[in-house]
Chain A
Amino acid sequence: MNDMRDLYEELILDHNRNPRNYPKKPTDCNCTAHGHNPLCGDEFIVNLTVEDGVIKDIGFEGAGCAISTASASLMTEAIIGMPVEDADKLFSEVRHLLTDDDEDDDGEHADESVLGKLSVLKGVKEYPMRVKCATLAWHTMHAALMGKKDSTTE
């Protein structure tokens, strides 16, 4: 029970119940992508407005489990107003937090403090089958910035 609370922390439950920037598509949105986790059916659309290399606005639509929804919601809060480059860096920090996966890893990691609220996702690491839930919105955001329409966690 207690270790379940490490995964389903109040912050995650809160962002699941009341996702921020959801459902939302900024009127001047110019980057969008559809993300899908075929394993569990989580499905999100991430909509961004990017101007001069900066994420001016962001919102998401769709539905998923608590982990994927909370992660998407926290992501929108974290990267709004950020230069695109920094958002990508943050994504790699999140991935590192969740997996220790050294693929595409430049070996440089800022300490956890850059993650701020996002460090609440660290409990997911104990549940390898759920890591894809936590990264779905991030992959989708990345795909939108790269100009790809679809992203899957497979």
Chain B
Amino acid sequence: MNSSPHMLERNFTTDPERVLDLKALRADFPALHQQVRGHPLVYLDNGATSQKPQSVIDTIRHYYERDNSNVHRGVHTLSERATLAYEGVRKKVRNFFNAASIREIIFVRGTTEAINLVAQSYGRPRFSAGDEILITEMEHHSNIVPWQLLCQQTGATLKVVPFNDAGELDVDAYHQLLGPKTRLVAVVHVSNSLGTVNPVAEMIKAAHQFDVPVLVDGAQAVAHRKVDVQALDCDFYTCSAHKLFGPTGTGVLYAKEALLADMEPYQGGGDMISRVSFEKTLYNDLPYKFEAGTPNIAGVIGLGAALDYLDELDMAAIAAHEDELLDYATTQLQSLPGVRLIGTATEKASILSFCIEGVHPHDISTILDGEGIAIRAGHHCTMPVMTHYGLSATARASFALYNNRADVDALIAGIDKVKEIFQS
């Protein structure tokens, strides 16, 4: 790790290997260096999407300038380059997640498509009336609606594990709801509106005692925590490249090979077949069976560059840095009168949702934008979470590895401005 260009050589207070060289890191992200409404940009909307390092931008550009071609289809040089680059990323993703095989890595459009794929290819042929799908009250709409559609199609029932007012899952209720009727558990790893890190390893273990497979929505986890799918023993894991310093329109479904082998294809088309005739079509091997049509080649290659970028860093150092920042921000926000934190779980990562008394989150966000500060205001695609707290929206600051204390200080000063304007 000492060889990494982003690690500081020495630090007097912390383990030197666990400190990120923030200045160097920030320089890698061109979008961070701009003025917004006359102020330097303070980007705290990483939960929505992260900024991209120059290396990702350059890689995509290089692909289009030099290697652009379709994959798996040609024997000419450009197609070979594109195919090698695209398939090379599958190996990088395998390493990133410590999956057992590249056959377990399916490229999709994003988390949303990954979950829909599992619902339709795994759930639809298997589930029927009387079966239960177990999710939680803090899921993103993309981990609710695909299951509701599946329930309509199959007659299965959706069951929901509640959370307490701190935003922690009711694990006892989970154990009670889990039973012989449960056919699948789908749970968010890190909540995008509360920041809660759920005890997914424990939940997976419990589900497996009933032979129930578990899907973990890792959209908000992968940029902040090391994820080892074999250690977790999850059956499905999903994420989006764009929240992981990669481009939009690309994501990953990890699934255990034995499950994938038994699943129906999601979409039909080119690439996913091995032989087609009008009488019978043979499907291609894994993972191609699930990748119909021309994929987002540039997107996948860009994701590869993002993983290379992260590979030079230490995920534990990123987590430690972000946790420290979250603590710093939490302490300051808690001390501001009229500010209420939404989501105060003991285990949290990178996300800080809050409300200011008498001020709608959209007004908070507009006033902060006037100071160059980007946060998210709204229901964060988690309407049931808003309902839990009797709110229609929250303001949310979300951190990534390049954020620093100055960003938090700007946020706090911005909140003071909001209060000043609204209390006049």
Q: Which chain A residues have a beta carbon within 8 Å of chain B's beta carbons?
A: 1, 3-5, 7-8, 10, 13, 17, 39-43, 63-67, 69, 127, 130, 133
Could you list some 16 contacts between A and B, CB below 8 A?
A1-B370, A4-B367, A4-B421, A5-B421, A7-B366, A13-B421, A40-B360, A40-B361, A40-B362, A40-B378, A65-B362, A65-B363, A66-B360, A66-B363, A67-B366, A130-B366
B interface size (C-beta, 8 A)? 21
Contacts of B362 in A (CB 8 A): 40, 42, 65, 67, 130, 133
Contact with A along B303-334 (1 / 0, CB 8 A): 00000000000000000000000000000000
| B377 contacts the other chain (CB 8 A) | yes
Q: Closest residue of chain A to B369, judged by CB?
A: A127
Apart from A1-B417, A41-B386, A127-B369: 10 A-B pairs, beta carbons within 8 A: A3-B37, A8-B421, A10-B424, A17-B358, A40-B377, A40-B392, A40-B393, A41-B378, A67-B366, A133-B362
A66 to B423 Cα, complex, angstroms: 13
Q: Closest residue of chain B to A41, judged by CB?
A: B392
Contacts of A3 in B (CB 8 A): 37, 370
Chain A CB within 10 Å — which of B362, B379, B421, B424 has the most?
Answer: B362
Contacts of B37 in A (CB 8 A): 3
Total A-B pairs in contact (CB under 8 Å)? 56
Contacts of A65 in B (CB 8 A): 360-363
Q: Do B417 and A4 touch across chains, with their CB atoms under 8 A apart?
A: yes
Contacts of A42 in B (CB 8 A): 362, 392
Q: Which of A13, A127, A133 contacts B424 (CB 8 A)?
A: A13
Q: Do B363 and A67 touch across chains, with their CB atoms under 8 A apart?
A: yes
Contacts of B378 in A (CB 8 A): 39-41
| B422 contacts the other chain (CB 8 A) | yes
Contact with A along B381-394 (1 / 0, CB 8 A): 00000100000110
Q: Do A41 and B421 touch across chains, with their CB atoms under 8 A apart?
A: no
Residues from 385 to 409 in B contacting A, C-beta threshold 8 Å: 386, 392-393
- With both chains docked as a complex, state the minimum distance between the C-beta of A63 and any C-beta of chain B, in angstroms: 7
| B173 contacts the other chain (CB 8 A) | no
| B24 contacts the other chain (CB 8 A) | no
